[in-house]
Amino acid sequence: MAIELRTDFGPIDVTTDVIATIAGGAAVDCYGIIGMASQRQLKDGITELLKRDNFSKGVIVRQIEDKIIIDMYIIVSYGTKISEIAHNVQTKVKYTLDQMLGVEVDAVNIFVQGVRLTTTD
């Protein structure tokens, strides 16, 4: 599925995978985020950290009418305030997609899949 952007030079189609990768990259840059988790690997309570090239598996981009809704599955650092991290991720993802693609996101839903200790090595 692609989202069509209208410009002065004509229409541009941006796939949802591109939007998901940009959103995942923006989220991982936020303080307190350990990484992205796949929404499909919740069997037995085990979540796997996704590598940088698989961010789109931890992000779902939906388009309902003219609205874009993003669901993000994240793993946060132990000892951080989850509500603040979720708010920061929402703000950064909306800002990044607006600046890079000119896409206005209506909602960024955050699903915390786990809490992990950070290692200092």
Identify the pLDDT of residue 70. 94
* Rounded Cα gap, residues 94 and 86, in angstroms: 12
End-to-end CA distance of the chain: 41
pLDDT score recorded for residue 87: 96
**Domains within the chain, CATH numbers bracketed:** 16-116 (3.30.70.1350)
pTM of the model: 0.81
The CA-atom distances, in angstroms, between 23 and each of 20, 43, 46, 116 are 5, 25, 23, 21
* pLDDT number for residue 41: 58
Over its length of 121 residues, how does the chain's per-residue pLDDT go in tens digits?
A: 788 877 888 888 889 889 998 999 899 889 988 888 877 655 444 455 555 556 677 899 998 887 899 999 988 999 899 999 999 999 999 999 999 988 889 999 999 988 888 665 4
**pLDDT at residue number 44:** 41
Tokens 């650092």 label which residue? 77
